[in-house]
Chains A and B, each alone.
Chain A
Amino acid sequence: MIRVIHGHERAMFPREIDQMHRLRKKVFYDRMNWDVPVINTWEADGFDALDPVYLLKISDENQVIGTVRLLPTTGFTMINDIFSELLPDGAPIYSPRIWEGSRFAVDSDVSQTGERTAVSRTAIELLLAGNEIGMGIGMTHCVGVFDLNMHRLMKRIGCAGEPLAPPKRIGHVMCIAVLMEMGAETDARLRHLGGITGEVIEPRKSAQITRNTPVPHAA
């Protein structure tokens, strides 16, 4: 299941937040060799200070094995403020209905049987949860910047999204900006891909709404 943690509530989830930053360091710094800010065992940057919405995949062993963070494009985003050269004409994206997913990371060490399946299942669940949140507020699209290798992996799984412009080299990494349509169609497609039925977002009391948030004292 996917645990949704709102940045401003991170103090309530110290264990998950710690594991998430460690996972990001392992994936982006140790493995992919990206030029990302590292503080001791954590990878953390200025966008974390904007209190994004974190989606965390929690394994059966209660470990964070996948993560992505969401920010609305009305505020500051990586795609507009750091990677604008990856956008067509470098023109910014600005809409309350278009959000950015960033620091999409999946732990490929998960030692469950059939590693590929576990990795793709985690990726699909994260996207499905993002889409679920999006449907709750009428989001039309989600954008993000991917490392070309990651993009290829997502393509193999069948959920790479659509390139917005040709890939470009940034530092020593080939990057590409992609977009994903949000909605019922995406929900059905991802569920079919991952063979997923039922809820993906862990039920938790939170003021912020997702699509299926019930009214507690109803009926």
Chain B
Amino acid sequence: MKTEDLFSILENLSKSTKLQDTTDQLRTALTELGLDHISYLAVNIPTQKTALPLLAVTYAPEWQRHYYQNNYVDIDPVVKAGLGGLLPIDWAQVDRSQRVVQRFFSEAQDFDIGQQGLSFPIRGRMNEFALFSVTSDVSDVEWQKMRPTIVPQLLLIAHHFHHYALLNAGVEAPNYGALLSQREKECLRWRATGKSDWDISQIMNISERTVKFHLENARAKLDALNTTHAVAKALATGAIALF
């Protein structure tokens, strides 16, 4: 499974599909990365009339019920650290000195949540807070080996997921594609003609570092997977034109 496929699963999420179905598909796809479950929680979504969070989880329904009945959201240390902090969280690092927290994790284990977990806090421009988490049941040694690779990948997947979850919930997200600067468009256009970052730096008389910066910013604004994808999206949406 390539990251491209993960992105296309999310792009299929339109207003008519259920967020939960997409989450289940994404979960299946992520098993190839050695991951078991996904959970997504978003609060303070502008379209939600109620204070209820936007929620999608792939955990066993029994665990979800147990979690809900025991008000575990109040003691879940991952939710606490994740909605408060900015950097990704490794569940292994969470303070387990409190007895309720120990019990929480051991019960989660009983419901096959997985031994390992990573959570990605998301802060958006509509004052929303979100948390995208994945779990895995690999050994500690294996986890330490795979974590450096999956964290940067999952950071993008988490934000991509959030973007589509908001669209799915009917939130009019700001059209960042329309907010591309001239420089960003220029870099994308040159990439579309097959120029390398170095070529572009020479043509535009800026450093290669700055070219990379403009392309990364454009990639994220277009919600694209990589630069090639960003070029394609920019051309398709008319943000840039070759001729």
Partners in one complex: yes
Chain A residues close to B by CB (< 8 Å): 6-9, 50-53, 70-72, 74-76, 87-98, 133, 136-138, 140-141, 162, 164, 179, 181, 205-211, 213-219
Interface pair B90/A209, CB less than 8 Å apart = yes
With a cutoff of 8 Å between Cβ atoms, the chain B residues found around residue A210 in the complex are 87
> What are some 15 contacts across the A-B interface (CB < 8 A)?
A51-B85, A76-B123, A94-B217, A96-B155, A97-B216, A97-B220, A138-B152, A179-B210, A208-B81, A209-B89, A209-B90, A209-B147, A210-B87, A217-B140, A219-B140
Interface pair A215/B220, CB less than 8 Å apart = no
Instruction: List the 8 closest A-B pairs by CB distance, nearest first.
Output: A138-B152, A8-B84, A95-B220, A91-B181, A75-B123, A208-B87, A89-B181, A218-B140
With a cutoff of 8 Å between Cβ atoms, the chain A residues found around residue B220 in the complex are 94-98
Selected from A87, A96, A219, the residue in CB contact (under 8 A) with B156 is A96
Given A7-B86, A94-B179, A95-B216; 6 other pairs, CB 8 A cutoff: A88-B182, A207-B85, A207-B89, A208-B89, A215-B90, A217-B140
- Closest B residue to A4 by CB, please name it: B87
How many chain B residues touch the partner (CB < 8 A)? 49
- Closest B residue to A186 by CB, please name it: B209
A156–B193 alpha-carbon span in the complex (Å): 38
Interface pair A50/B123, CB less than 8 Å apart = yes
A218–B81 alpha-carbon span in the complex (Å): 22
A8–B212 alpha-carbon span in the complex (Å): 32
A98–B213 alpha-carbon span in the complex (Å): 9
**A140-B144 contact, Cβ under 8 Å, with A94-B221, A209-B90:** no
B195 contacts A by Cβ under 8 Å: no
A205–B94 alpha-carbon span in the complex (Å): 8
CB distance from A130 to the nearest CB of B (A): 12
CB distance from A33 to the nearest CB of B (A): 31
B184 contacts A by Cβ under 8 Å: yes
A182–B197 alpha-carbon span in the complex (Å): 17
With a cutoff of 8 Å between Cβ atoms, the chain A residues found around residue B92 in the complex are 215-217
Interface pair A75/B125, CB less than 8 Å apart = yes
CB distance from B124 to the nearest CB of A (A): 6
With a cutoff of 8 Å between Cβ atoms, the chain A residues found around residue B153 in the complex are 138
Interface residues of B in 126-145 (CB under 8 A from A): 140-141, 143-144
B47 contacts A by Cβ under 8 Å: no
Selected from B151, B156, B183, the residue in CB contact (under 8 A) with A136 is B151
Most chain-A CB neighbours within 10 Å: which of B87, B152, B213? B87
Interface pair A137/B155, CB less than 8 Å apart = yes
A218–B92 alpha-carbon span in the complex (Å): 10
Interface pair B144/A215, CB less than 8 Å apart = yes
B180 contacts A by Cβ under 8 Å: yes
Interface pair B155/A181, CB less than 8 Å apart = no
